[in-house]
């Protein structure tokens, strides 16, 4: 793997990336676990187990916990979440009537399936025009405050009628707590951390070691970087956000993906992970992610010209991606340019961790795609 490390590190440096922790695993073993530190950034820590704010790479973990918990409590996926969280029934649907945002009652109960499959009608403030406008007018609470007030934002369509990436996993986290009587972090420990021996993965900021917390940079338009670490509260908020609140390390996240591969390999179609990697939105379309906050994320279309769908907690490519993962693989990202893929057919998964805004910077996407392509060239050769 020395030549692999040399080649990918050279790519990272040419792309002017400050730092990356990256690794590859199969169901049997973790075959690569490395760090890159750009010498042009001499103050970077050389810690080989830095803590990262995982942001939306939290979603597959929350999906797994939800599915395991519902199975334990014998709760149907299509049951109304309002049975356990009555306040979710109060959400109205916002829509545009001319230049005015209007509201109507939601007559379709939001189910666990709706929340997991991102078909609940919830949206993100930086991806949806109506929610973005309401935020600008200060009619809803922003996510950055760190509490759960942002969950009161209205729906933007009738549950089940569309796919839209949004805050639904925040509601899932609250439902998990209501059903179990335990915090989301305690459920994380029960279903993943304790069984897998994860020592640095948590929703609880008090359990994270800030001394080894990776810094966060903002990439300016001309390619220079600004250290914005003191301004970032993500991963250190009091509310345990099921859609993006976990802090973790490369080592721990590789163990999670390794476990997911093992689950598929051992239990096949009966595994929890199999349902995560199954099409859960039917013929609904995955639309490009339009950004209404370019300092947070850029516009991005996920694998254009590749047919895709959403499972539970991740996106699924229904066709093979040339030189990379097979059809039926899952992947997702976090807003600080963290990425992963999970390929059960080739029994291979990879993790790429940076901490840079805005999300979907072209050089970061290029780096991740090169990393994945090189992994298949060296390990699979297909």
Q: Average pLDDT of 100-122?
A: 98
- One DSSP character per residue, 171-213 reads HHHHHHHHHHSS-HHHHHIIIIIHHHT-SS-BS-GGGS-GGGB
Contact assessment for residue 200 and residue 248, using Cβ atoms and an 8 Å cutoff: yes
Q: Which residues on adjacent β-strands are paired with residue 36?
A: 20
What pLDDT was estimated at residue 46? 83
Residue 40 confidence (pLDDT) = 92
If we measure between CA atoms, which residue out of 252, 203, 244 comes closest to residue 336? 244
Asked which of 3-7, 59-63, 118-122, 316-320 is least confident by mean pLDDT, the reply is 3-7
Residues 6+ apart with CB under 8 A from 153: 122, 123, 125, 131, 134, 140, 141, 167
Query: pTM to 2 decimals?
Result: 0.96
- Residue 316 parent element (H or E): strand 315-317
Q: What is the pLDDT of residues 248-259, one digit of tens each?
A: 999 999 999 999
Does residue 382 carry a pLDDT above 60? Answer: no
pLDDT of residue 49: 83
The helix/strand/coil state of 372 is helix
pLDDT averaged over the chain?
94
Give the burial string for 1-30 (b: 16+ CB within 10 Å, else e). Answer: eeebeeebbebbeebebbbbbbbbbbbeeb
How far apart are alpha carbons 113 and 346 in whole angstroms? 28
Q: What letter does residue 29 receive in the DSSP assignment?
A: -
| Total length of the chain | 382
For 327-353, the pLDDT digits (tens) are: 999 999 999 999 999 999 999 999 999
CA 209 to chain centre: 22
pLDDT of amino acid 171: 98
Q: How many CA atoms lie within 13 A of 341 on its CB side?
A: 26
**Separation CA 11–CA 311 (nearest Å):** 32
Q: Match 């030189």 to its residue by tokens.
A: 323
- Considering just the CA atoms, what is the radius of gyration of the chain in Å? 20
Given 3.40.50.11540, 3.40.710.10, 3.20.20.140, 1.10.3720.10, which CATH number is that of 2-379? Answer: 3.40.710.10
C-alpha torsion 131→134→135→137, nearest 10: 160
- Per DSSP, 86 falls in state G
Report how far residue 318's alpha carbon sits from residue 310's, in angstroms, rounded to the nearest whole number: 10
Residue 207 scores a pLDDT above 80: no
């Amino acid at each position: 793997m020395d030549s692999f490390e040399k080649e990918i590190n050279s790519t990272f440096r040419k792309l002017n990336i400050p730092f990356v922790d990256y690794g590859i695993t199969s169901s049997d073993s973790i075959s690569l676990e490395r760090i890159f530190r750009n010498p042009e950034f001499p103050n970077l820590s050389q810690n080989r187990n830095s803590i990262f704010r995982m942001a939306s790479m939290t979603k597959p973990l929350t999906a797994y916990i939800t599915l395991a918990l519902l199975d334990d409590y014998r709760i149907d996926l299509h049951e109304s979440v309002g049975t356990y969280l009555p306040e979710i029934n109060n959400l109205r649907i916002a829509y545009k009537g001319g230049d005015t945002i209007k509201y109507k009652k939601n007559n379709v109960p939001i189910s666990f399936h709706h929340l997991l499959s991102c078909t609940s009608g919830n949206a993100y403030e930086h991806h949806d025009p109506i929610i973005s406008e309401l935020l600008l007018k200060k009619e809803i609470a922003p996510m950055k405050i760190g509490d759960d007030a942002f969950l009161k934002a209205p729906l933007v369509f009738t549950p089940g009628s569309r796919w839209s990436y949004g805050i639904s996993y925040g509601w899932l986290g609250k439902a998990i707590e209501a059903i179990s009587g335990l915090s989301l972090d305690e459920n994380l420990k029960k279903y993943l951390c304790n069984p897998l021996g994860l020592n640095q993965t948590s929703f609880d900021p008090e359990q994270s070691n800030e001394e080894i917390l990776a810094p966060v940079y903002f990439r300016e338009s001309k390619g220079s970087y600004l250290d914005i670490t003191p301004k970032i509260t993500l991963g250190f908020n009091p509310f345990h956000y099921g859609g993006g609140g976990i802090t973790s390390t490369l080592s721990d996240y590789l163990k999670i993906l390794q476990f997911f591969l093992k689950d598929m390999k051992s239990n096949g179609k009966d595994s929890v992970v199999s349902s995560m990697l199954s099409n859960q939105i039917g013929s609904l379309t995955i639309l490009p992610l339009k950004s209404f906050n370019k300092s947070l994320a850029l516009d991005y279309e996920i694998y254009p010209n590749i047919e895709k769908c959403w499972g539970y907690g991740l996106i699924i490519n229904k066709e093979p991606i040339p030189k990379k993962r097979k059809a039926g693989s899952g992947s997702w990202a976090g807003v600080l340019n963290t990425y992963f893929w999970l390929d059960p057919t080739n029994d291979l998964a990879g993790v790429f961790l940076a901490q840079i805004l805005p999300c979907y910077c072209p050089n970061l996407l290029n780096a991740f795609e090169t990393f994945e392509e090189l992994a298949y060239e060296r390990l699979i050769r297909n």
